[in-house]
Chain A
Amino acid sequence: METGTIILLIVGLYLLVSLLTGIIPSLRISKSVSGYVAGDRSMNVFIMYFVLGASIFSSFAFLGGPGWAYSRGAAAFYIISYGVIGIVPLYFFGPRAWKLGKKYGYVTQAELLADRFNSKFLSVMLAVLSVAAFIPYLTLQMIGAGYVLNVISEGWIPFWMGAGFTYLVVLIYVYFSGVMGVGWSNAFQGMFMLVMAWTLGIYLPNVLHGGIGEMFQKIIDSGKADMLSAPGLNAAGEAWSWSAYSSAVLISAIGFSVWPHFFMRAYAAKSESSFKLSVVLYPTFLLFLVPILLIGFSAILAFPEVDQADSILPHVLMQLELPAIVIGLFCAGALAASMSSGDAILHSAGSIWVRDGIKPFFGKKLSDSAERSLIQISVLIIGLIAYLFAVVIDYSIVALLLAAYGGVAQIFPVVFAMFYWKRATKAGALAGLFGGIITNTFFLIYPELKPLDMHEGIYGLMANLILLITVSFITPPDPAENVKKFSC
């Protein structure tokens, strides 16, 4: 059989299994909003483990991760570091959100916040912030999928077709099955990614350099030891500063637990302890980044002249003349990484948009079934918008995503205050969130005005905390019954 045919067969088979694992769970879940958005609060540890793991590792894992190791060396370790720190708050937030969700029917993060601080405006603002962050995120996943299929097929599959077909599959199972479709397909895709990453991460250093230790020794002997000592290199290839590295770890860690699509998975858990256990096991999934980075390191000496660092993995695979079956499996693995994040984001974007952005204007007039249909339609529309962006490929979209990272981290102080600080008030929360986002955006646009070379999100957080605390103290306390409901 021809190489191209074998690759296509494997990719086709992978997409079919993804579709089936995504569609079948819809048969067992109620037709309510809670069923669609929170899976009737029935996810066990096994599914939750993959939902937490796989939805975070996106196209970036298979393309960007090796790219960072290849071009920036030790700087790439920040991706592992922030995960292990960032997951911790979720251990404490998750069970509280779950308990309140079960009692009062919440299914999104903004619903909790809007209720505690009695503000519809907060809910709408968070919906807009989330969707503004999700669309570029989703677009990048589609670009990743289209790109991989295009490169591996040597241009035979056009970009628009690769991205379009892959995300048609995602759209179908997200539309019909909601979060349980996301969960089951992520379990399949997650296992697939893990196996592919470990296989390639061990195989490539061995075949190119004779082993992992030998590979690193060669890099050191070639005079590139600087690259391997932390904090590695910046995007321009010069030594990265400690303040930039440390603040990148901190801001990503702080933002991590409050990403709306990640946070809201707590509602889908079967019980408090099953969610806690999934969080505890998360670092074992995180270690999957180790082989991913090894792939990038293996190419430093073997293929020194690749300009586009993000394409290093497909580049290496095409050079090695591997059996078609291996290339096909890699392709499917990269698609799995893209789809397992894309589906989670698509589902959350639709749910949050309707639940937090539109529903506050309708109140009880919106019936459960109408709300569910509205979410499903939103999923289709958001998917289409992201696809249009992907096909046009406007690179400013990457800048939008970077802005979103610092912006999302600004939700953290408000979420923390909701659970742990009774004196926090509505005015304080709004002032903090607003002030944080504005400061973050300001330093993103004018980086030369930063006093120190730190991530703009850190400056945002400083403004956020100061405003949250002072404005809360100078305004009268929120109604006691509202506050009491949340300090469980």
Chain B
Amino acid sequence: MGEVSSMIIFALKTLLQNMTKKGLSRWIFGVVMGLITLFLIWPGYLLFSAAEPLILGFPLSFAWVIFCTLLGFVALLGLYLSDRGETKDL
């Protein structure tokens, strides 16, 4: 177990070292948006498709879509801020 986790950590470290800041932020953004897409349609949305429980008064299926929209906004904002930092450095 310990060996596997140290290998994963090593792989991640190498990946991070070899990536520019811009490349990394785009990569993270891509993963987050990919997950959002997958969880807004089949099969990811299946997990959150029920009417109950009500969350802050909204059915789970509705609350989930609102949550994903907000998460998408945060992801875009993060990408924009990191892009802006990059241009300023130049």
Q: Which of A230, A242, A287 contacts B61 (CB 8 A)?
A: A230
- Name the B residues within 8 Å of A229 (CB-CB): 49-51, 59, 61
A84 contacts B59, C-beta separation under 8 Å? no
- Name the B residues within 8 Å of A84 (CB-CB): 36, 40, 68-69, 72-73
What's the least CB distance linking A484 to chain B, in Å?
A: 22
Report A255-287 CB contacts with B as 1/0, cut-off 8 Å.
Answer: 000000000000000000100110111011011
Within 8 A of A (CB), among B33-89: 33, 36-37, 40-42, 45-46, 48-52, 54, 56-59, 61-62, 65-66, 68-70, 72-73, 76-77, 79-80, 83-84, 87
B contact residues, total (Cβ < 8 Å): 34
What's the least CB distance linking A265 to chain B, in Å?
A: 17
Assembled-state Cα–Cα distance A276/B87 (Å): 13
Assembled-state Cα–Cα distance A231/B50 (Å): 9
The main secondary structure of chain B at its interface with chain A is: helix
What's the interface size class on A, roughly?
35 or more
A212 contacts B58, C-beta separation under 8 Å? yes
Report A216-232 CB contacts with B as 1/0, cut-off 8 Å.
Answer: 11001000011111110
Report A277-305 CB contacts with B as 1/0, cut-off 8 Å.
Answer: 10111011011001001000000000000
Assembled-state Cα–Cα distance A245/B43 (Å): 11
Nearest CB to that of A246 among chain B residues?
Answer: B41
Residue from A80, A220, A280 having most chain B Cβ neighbours under 10 A = A280
Query: Could you list which residues of chain A lie within 8 angstroms of chain B, going by C-beta atoms?
Result: 74, 77, 80-81, 83-85, 87-88, 91, 211-214, 216-217, 220, 225-231, 242-243, 245-246, 249-250, 253, 273, 276-277, 279-281, 283-284, 286-287, 290, 293
Q: Which of B52, B72, B76 contacts A225 (CB 8 A)?
A: B52
The 17 listed contacts between A and B (C-beta, < 8 Å) are A74-B61, A77-B62, A77-B65, A80-B65, A84-B36, A87-B76, A91-B76, A213-B58, A225-B51, A229-B61, A230-B49, A231-B45, A231-B49, A242-B41, A246-B42, A273-B84, A279-B76
A213-B76 contact, Cβ under 8 Å, with A85-B37, A243-B42: no
Assembled-state Cα–Cα distance A226/B40 (Å): 18
Q: Which of A226, A273, A280 contacts B76 (CB 8 A)?
A: A280
- Name the B residues within 8 Å of A230 (CB-CB): 45, 48-49, 61
Residue from A83, A213, A226 having most chain B Cβ neighbours under 10 A = A213
A216 contacts B59, C-beta separation under 8 Å? yes
Assembled-state Cα–Cα distance A213/B54 (Å): 7
Nearest CB to that of B69 among chain A residues?
Answer: A84
Assembled-state Cα–Cα distance A228/B6 (Å): 45
B68 contacts A216, C-beta separation under 8 Å? no
Query: Could you list which residues of chain B lie within 8 angstroms of chain A, going by C-beta atoms?
Result: 33, 36-37, 40-42, 45-46, 48-52, 54, 56-59, 61-62, 65-66, 68-70, 72-73, 76-77, 79-80, 83-84, 87
- Name the A residues within 8 Å of B83 (CB-CB): 276
A217-B73 contact, Cβ under 8 Å, with A74-B62, A231-B49: no
- Name the B residues within 8 Å of A293 (CB-CB): 62
Assembled-state Cα–Cα distance A275/B79 (Å): 14
Assembled-state Cα–Cα distance A293/B69 (Å): 15
- Name the B residues within 8 Å of A88 (CB-CB): 33, 72, 76
